[in-house]
Amino acid sequence: MKKLIFLLLLMLSINSYSQEKKPITEGNIILSGSGTIQSYHSETTTGTSLTKTSLFSLNLSPGVGYFIIDNLAIGGNLTVSYYKQGLNKYYTLGLGPWARYYFNNGIFVKGETNFVIFNGLGSNNSRQRSYSITPGVGYAFFLNEKVSLEPCLSYIYSHTHYADAVNERMNNLQLEVRFSIFL
């Protein structure tokens, strides 16, 4: 973790000298998006019992926003995901608002919420509802006057309600990289 923080601070200090005009002014539009692909396999041994688990997931999250004043943008994200774990397959569809404030040195703070509906596919027709609250801090690396890469460290609180009256609450830290185009 110390190496990650050192690397992020080093990139911030080097990149701050190369920053030129930023399109974070009132009236501009921001189009952004991120995506992830995840695959893992695990084996758990309990006594003489062996349990194998595998997961594949694909997540896409496009968004659009508008700068209501200089440095402050508000907007919304759409989240589409597909999960396959063992014989169970799920897809999710989520929607939520966000706000992002950019400082002139490239650092930004954000807050977003997301409301998600889960549905099972095939023999698994379960339904679930979820919401999350995600504050975070990041840095906008402007590649030119209109395009940036935006790594962001976020805290995620999520609450999921399952069809069988089970509720699950999760707290996570996430490092995300968004690609943004400013119009």
Which residues in the chain land under pLDDT 50?
14, 16-19
Residue 66 confidence (pLDDT): 95
Q: Are 105 and 18 in contact, with CB atoms under 8 Å apart? A: no
pTM: 0.72
Q: For residue 157, list its beta bridge partners.
A: 133, 171
Residue 17 confidence (pLDDT): 43
CA atoms within 13 A on the CB side of 147: 3
pLDDT in tens, 88-117: 788 888 899 999 999 988 899 999 998 887
Residue 13 confidence (pLDDT): 54
Residue 29 confidence (pLDDT): 93
Residue 25 confidence (pLDDT): 84
Burial classification of residue 9, based on how many CB atoms lie within 10 Å of its CB (0-12 exposed, 13-18 middle, 19 or more buried): exposed
Query: 104: Cβ–Cβ under 8 A, 6 or more apart, which residues?
Result: 22, 71
Residue 117 confidence (pLDDT): 79
**Tokens of residue 125, six digits:** 């027709």
